[in-house]
Amino acid sequence: MLRVVRRASMSLGKRAFLRIASILFALLLTGFILSILKYNSLQVYGEMVFGAVGSSYRIQETINKMIPLLIMGLGLSVCYRAQFMNIGAEGQFCMGVIGATYLIRLSGTSLGAMTIPVMMLFAVVFGGLWCLLPAFLKRFYGVSETLVTLMMNYIALKLVSYLQYSAWKDPKAYGFPKIANYPDEALLPKVFGIHIGWIIAISFVIIIYILLFRSKLGYEISVMGDNFETARYAGMKTTKILFSAALIGGGLCGLAGMIQASGIEKTMNDQISSGMGYTAIIVAYMSRLNPLALMVGSFLFAVLLQGGEYIQSSMRISSDIAEILQGMILLSILSSEFFTEYRVSTRKKADICSSHKTCSY
Amino acid sequence: MATDDYVVMQNICKAFGKVTANHGVNFSVKKGEIHALLGENGSGKSTLMNILAGIYAQDSGTITINGKYVDINCPKDAIDLGIGMVHQHFKQVDVFTAAENIIGGHSRSLFIKKNKNCQKIETLCARFGFNLDPRKMTYRMSVSEKQTVEIVKALFRGATVLILDEPTAVLTPQETTTLFETLRNMRDESCSIIIITHKLNEVMDISDRVTVLRKGESLCTLNTVETTPEQLTELMVGHAVNLHIPFRKINEDKKAVKLEIQNLTVKAPDGKIKLDNISFSIKSHEIFGIAGIAGSGQKELCEAIAGLQTADAGRILLEGKELISLNPSERLGKGISIGFIPEDRLGMGLAGGLTIEENIVLKSYQAQKSFFMDHRASRKAAELLIEEYQVSASNTKQTVRSLSGGNIQKVLLGREISQNPTLLIAAYPVRGLDIAASHFIYNELNKQKERGVAILLIGEDLDVLTSLCDRIGVLHEGRLMGIIDAKSRTKEEIGWMMLGQKAEEHHAKSC
């Protein structure tokens, strides 16, 4: 008979092995789907990797995709560590884009070199406030933040559409529903061929690492996330901690939006987020809410995204395959968590002959 | 091996990860016998019985019932074999009646024949002498009534072997007597009763035989009449133990009033009164005990004093300073130091998923000026505490949740004492601890008392309360029934007060 038994704690090496094994398992499962579709799965995977890191241009493209995932993953990690289940990265990202674009519409080119810093500030404030509202509702009215943040994603997305199609539509675009391109002052400069978003992202890895593991606020966030009652017991200002986590999380997601708009799209449009806010949730969990692990996790997922796009043109396979693979990886990693806690074993029947012990008293 | 053994468990092994809970345990029970299973916390009593009841499956070993080998894989298997278990924490639906809870999950047919079942339950109760109204709603029941429901539920399902896991932990002395009466009736009807306990006087009082477990192994089975509490303790702990809890008498004129509570009233969010107009005071060099049935307002009292629960009326004065309007963070600012050991340590007071270091600095980190945490200082504090209180931990980075109950309590107590509190509130500080760890805690409380700390001790074991405390206040449904001198009353008198009887006038005045 098969039984499930709780196991003693697992070594770090075994854990890493389990992670890798579950990714391989996901590749195997997706390979099975590919073979039903009559594709050579090894070739498809090879092409994906080639498409993601095969040339310096492709590596740049992959890093471009990694930057927003990494920054949003950092923000979400702060929220999740405080047990604030923010799945509104998509919406906060959009609000960041709106904030940045709003500044351009307000000031045009008049700010000069200060344009980009002020854009960032606007994006952080817009994204942060968008995330603060659900935190407020959670704290004072007990509303589930999961639902509110999710619903607010749609509001933010539709707000972008509305602005693009009517209020902020560029009159000089011959009736096209598009917003005027940012002026040059509002575009992120490039370093090593990639916009400086990568430098910002790495700085935030360090900042968030220090915040979470070295600062008092980070300590309070982990205590509150582990046990809310204990935080209250210790006299922590729980409302302040919750709101700080929400502001940091939403702010970083907003910043990711601004970087995407200014570094890649050069304007605002309703395709700009393209589901990255949801992918970032997977990335954050896969990296166990650890800023350093997030660098690896976001890179892996960027490879998937970029490789998925590449096989679309090179092999005429829908990039949906990459999405299936993403889903499979998430599923198998989440299921593999089970094996870090339990193992499956069979029951042994012991010999029956030994008799009942009797006492010497 | 005796031939008349009904249930025999042989060579039972069960491990949870690294921890071996049962290691080659042998146990047997006869028909018409009350068999006590005695052992310290963590000795494997509950695990063994959970295996018999089908909640866990043994890693190896065999079970025979009436001479036949049986395979118990789930609770239903156990029920079909006539084994019923009453757990420490009852699993009942609050908005159901007693009868509905008893028949729930049992009826095989589509419809429930209510009246027929009620009659059947009443006959059962009459046969064994239970006092139970099958139509009473569960949320209106006292703890002991709920326990009765659980026992009747097991009997209703045809149990001939009944396992009771620490049944008296939640009962007053009077309720315990009634329970034991019915258990004896059941024994006379040739039921087998297994009672898990670590209270020696109960073993001596009710059981026919007793099996002692220590560290997952069955030491021996003895006839109760042929043994003594001293012998049993020695078997249980492995060496002779002084069961005496020392009381330190301190001269009255050294004492000064530290905490004063005046007309304190606390209401639950639904308006239910949890504490009703309570007044008492605690002096320095004094342990003030609170006795009462679980849920009589103890939690609210502790939390109101600790500032975690808003009071609806009254005053709480610590050294003359009003506390009632101050929340915990404002208190830290004013330098008010109250140590608080809450009843559910991992539920409040500690963050189980964090390390010992991180838990040690929970109350002191705010005093640090810097934006950053001083990790070196936390490690030092943790090392010091581990050494001073002999916490068994591999290092200071171990998570608190992975420690044993006694060590978790040491971490919490050590941290609270290190804050040099004026007042120490300890709610059930020895709950779940073994004898050695309990005595460590008692000694620590006595030490703090000698240092001049005012101590509020919420307890469940009246023997402990009467020997450790100077005075005891008895709570019943949120009202203070009286404050008595701990040395001048019997347990029975306190038991009556816990059930709602006022202390006699002249005694109340004298305290």
Please state whether A190 falls in left (phi above 0), alpha (psi between -120 and 50) or beta: beta
Contact (CB<8Å) B351/A233: no
Chain B: give the shortest CA distance to residue A150, in Å: 28
| A219 vs B13, B73, B373: nearest CB | B373
Q: Are A239 and A75 in contact (CB under 8 A)?
A: no
Phi, psi of B104 (to 5 degrees): -50, 130
What is the distance between the alpha carbons of residues B31 and B38, in angstroms, rounded to a whole number?
19
Query: CB A357 to CB B373 under 8 A?
Result: no
In this predicted structure, what is the pLDDT of residue A8?
58
Is the Cβ pair B351, A354 closer than 8 Å?
Answer: no
> Which residues of chain A are within 8 Å of residue B15 when distances are taken between CB atoms?
5
Of A230, A355, A357, the CB nearest to B350: A230
Facing residues of B264 across strands? Answer: B278
* Global confidence as pTM: 0.79
Q: Which of B59, B363, B365 sits opposite A219 (nearest CB)?
A: B365
Taking the C-alpha atoms of residue B370 and residue A71, their distance in angstroms, rounded to an integer, is 27
The region that residue A331 occupies, defined by phi over 0 for left and psi between -120 and 50 for alpha, beta otherwise, is alpha
pLDDT of residue A88: 94
The total number of residues shown for chain A amounts to 361
Contact A235/B363, CB-based, under 8 Å? yes
pLDDT at A359 over 70: no
Which H or E run contains B287?
A: strand B286-291
Q: What pLDDT is stored for residue B247 in this prediction?
A: 83
Report which secondary-structure segment, H or E, holds B377.
helix B375-388
Q: Chain B closest CA to A136's CA: distance in Å?
A: 21
Contacts of B400 in chain A (CB under 8 A): none
According to DSSP, the β-strands at B286-291 and B471-476 are parallel
- Per-residue pLDDT band for A180 (boundaries 50, 70, 90) equals confident
Q: Are B442 and B245 in contact (CB under 8 A)?
A: yes
Which of A215, A227, A352 is nearest residue B371 as measured by Cβ atoms?
A215
Using a CB-CB distance cutoff of 8 angstroms, which residues of chain B are in contact with residue A357? 26, 218-220
Q: Of all helices (H) and strands (E), which one includes residue B423?
A: strand B423-427
Nearest-CB residue to B60 (from A350, A356, A359): A350
Measured between beta carbons, the chain B residues lying within 8 angstroms of A222 are 351, 354, 358
Cross-chain residue pair A356–B372, CB shorter than 8 Å: no
Which two structure tokens, joined as six digits, stand for B300?
Answer: 């609210």
Task: Please judge whether B11 and A358 are an interchain contact, meaning their C-beta atoms are less than 8 angstroms apart.
Answer: no
Could you write out the DSSP letters of every residue in A78-111?
A: HHHHTT-----HHHHHHHHHHHHHHHHHHHTTTT
Query: Residues, chain B, total?
Result: 511
Distance from CA of B421 to the nearest CA of A (A): 14
Mean pLDDT of chain A: 87
DSSP-assigned letters across all residues of A248-301 = HHHHHHHHHHHHHIIIIISS--TTSSTTHHHHHHHHHHHTTT-HHHHHHHHHHH
Q: Are strands B33-38 and B192-197 parallel, antiparallel or unpaired?
A: parallel
Nearest CA distance, B347 vs chain A (angstrom): 7
| A231: pLDDT strictly greater than 90 | yes
| Residues facing B137 on adjacent strands | B97
Beta strands in chain A (DSSP E): 2-6, 190-191, 194-195, 342-346
> Listing from the earlier edge strand, what are the strands of the sheet with B217-223?
B83-86, B161-165, B192-197, B33-38, B209-214, B217-223
Residues of B in contact with A233 (CB under 8 A): 306, 308, 328, 340, 342, 348-349
A215–B372 C-beta distance less than 8 A: yes
- Buried-exposed string B164-187: b where 16+ CB fall within 10 A, e elsewhere: bbbbbbbbbbebbebbbebbeebb
Give the type of residue at A294.
L
Closest CA in chain A for residue B332: A235
* Tokens matching residue A97: 């884009």
Residue numbers in A near B1 (CB within 8 A): 355-356
Nearest CA in chain B to A4: B57
Contact B6, B30 (CB under 8 A): yes
What are phi and psi for residue B372, nearest 5 degrees?
-95, 155
To the nearest whole angstrom, how far is the Cα of A13 from the nearest Cα of chain B? 18
Q: Which long-range contacts (CB under 8 A, 24 or more apart) does B493-497 make?
A: B494/B291, B494/B462, B494/B465, B494/B466, B495/B172, B495/B173, B495/B174, B495/B462, B496/B174, B497/B291
Q: What's the token pair of residue B240?
A: 């002779």
Q: Which residue is closest to B19 within chain A, CA to CA?
A: A8
Only one residue has tokens 């009353």, namely B489
**What tokens appear for B322 in the block?**
């009003």
Evaluate whether B24 touches A353 at the Cβ level (below 8 Å): no
d(C-alpha B428, C-alpha B363), whole Å: 21
Q: What is the predicted pLDDT for the residue at A317? A: 79
Interface residue of B13, B59, B218, B416 to substitute, partner A, most A CBs within 10 Å: B59
Q: Is the dihedral of CA A252, A254, A255, A257 positive or negative?
A: positive
Interface mutation vs chain A, best among B29, B219, B371, most A CBs within 10 Å: B371
- Count Cβ atoms within 10 A of the Cβ of residue B226 and give its class: 0-12 exposed, 13-18 middle, 19 or more buried: exposed
Nearest to A96, CA basis, from A246, A244, A208, A253: A253
Distances (CA, A) of A303 to A64, A322, A329, B302: 11, 10, 13, 56
The structure tokens listed for B8 are 């025999």
CA B51 to chain A, closest CA, distance in angstroms equals: 14
Distance CA B332, CA B348 (A): 18
ipTM above 0.85, yes or no: no
Question: What is the dihedral sign for C-alpha B294, B168, B491, B130?
Answer: positive
Alpha-carbon B36 to chain mean position = 18
**Which residues in chain B are contacts of A360 at CB distance < 8 A?**
220
Asked whether the beta carbons of residue B221 and residue A347 sit closer than 8 angstroms, the reply is no
Set of chain B residues whose Cβ sits within 8 Å of the Cβ of A214: 372-373, 375
Give me the residue from B18, B59, B308 closest to A347, CB to CB. Answer: B59
**Is B10 within 8 Å of A216 when comparing Cβ atoms?**
no
| Mean pLDDT within A168-193 | 86
Chain B residues with CB inside 8 Å of A5's CB? 15-16, 59
Does A8 contact B17 at a Cβ distance shorter than 8 Å?
yes
- State the pLDDT at residue B214: 87
Smallest CA–CA distance, residue B484 to chain A, in Å, is: 31
Spatial separation of the C-alpha atoms in residues A219 and A245, rounded to whole Å? 12
Pairing assessment for the beta strands A342-346 and B33-38 based on DSSP bridges: unpaired
Q: Minimal Cα distance from A348: which residue of B?
A: B60
* Model pLDDT, residue A102: 95
CA B511 to chain A, closest CA, distance in angstroms equals: 33
Q: How far apart are CA B9 and CA B191, in angstroms?
A: 17
Tell me how close the Cα of A86 comes to any Cα of chain B, in angstroms.
Answer: 21
For chain B of 511 residues, list the mean pLDDT of each consecutive stretch of 10: 77 81 90 90 84 88 90 87 86 85 72 78 86 86 86 88 86 85 90 88 90 88 88 82 77 87 90 90 93 87 90 90 83 84 88 91 85 90 90 86 84 91 92 80 91 92 88 91 86 85 54 45
How many interchain CB pairs under 8 A, A with B?
122
Residue of chain B with shortest Cα separation from A211: B372
Q: Judge: B351–A230 Cβ closer than 8 Å, yes or no.
A: yes
The DSSP bridge pattern shows strands B454-458 and B423-427 to be parallel
Cβ contacts of B349 on chain A, cutoff 8 Å: 230, 233
Q: What is the predicted pLDDT for the residue at A113?
A: 86
The answer to whether B291 touches B486, Cβ cutoff 8 Å, is: no
CB A307 within 8 A of CB A49: yes
| Residue A313 near residue A288, CB atoms below 8 Å | no
Whole-number Å distance between alpha carbons of A262 and A272: 11
Query: Could you report the per-residue pLDDT of A203-218, keeping only the tens digit for each?
Result: 999 999 999 999 999 9
User: What's phi and psi for B191, nearest 5 deg?
Assistant: -80, 155
pLDDT-based confidence at A153, cuts 50/70/90?
very high
**What pLDDT was estimated at residue B101?**
86
CA B219/CA B160 separation, integer angstroms: 26
Q: For residue B11, give the nearest of A237, A354, A360 by CB distance.
A: A354
In angstroms, the CA A159 to CA A269 distance is 11
- Residue of B309, B288, B343 whose CA lies nearest to B486: B288
CA distance A115 to A258: 12
Give the residue, A87 or B271, on which the prediction is more confident: A87
> Cα separations (Å) of B435 from B43, B263, B432?
12, 37, 10
Tell me phi and psi for residue A137, to 5 degrees: -65, -35
Q: How far apart are CA B75 and CA B54, in angstroms?
A: 4
B61, B227, B402 ranked by CB distance to A350: nearest: B61
What Rg do the C-alpha atoms of chain B give, in angstroms? Answer: 25
- pLDDT(A354) > 80: no
The closest alpha carbon to B267, from B310, B326, B305, belongs to B310
pLDDT tops 70 at residue A236: yes
Per-residue pLDDT band at A358 (split at 50, 70, 90): very low
Q: Which residues contact A56 (CB under 8 A, 6 or more apart)?
A: A193
pLDDT in tens, A93-150: 999 999 999 999 988 888 888 899 999 999 999 999 999 999 999 999 999 999 999 9
Q: In this complex, which of A232, A348, A358 lies closest to B220 when CB atoms are compared?
A: A358
**Distance (Å) from the alpha carbon of A231 to chain B's nearest alpha carbon:** 8
| Largest Cα span, chain B | 73
Reference B435, options B252, B250, B243, B254; nearest CA is: B243
Q: A286 CA to chain B: closest CA distance, Å?
A: 19
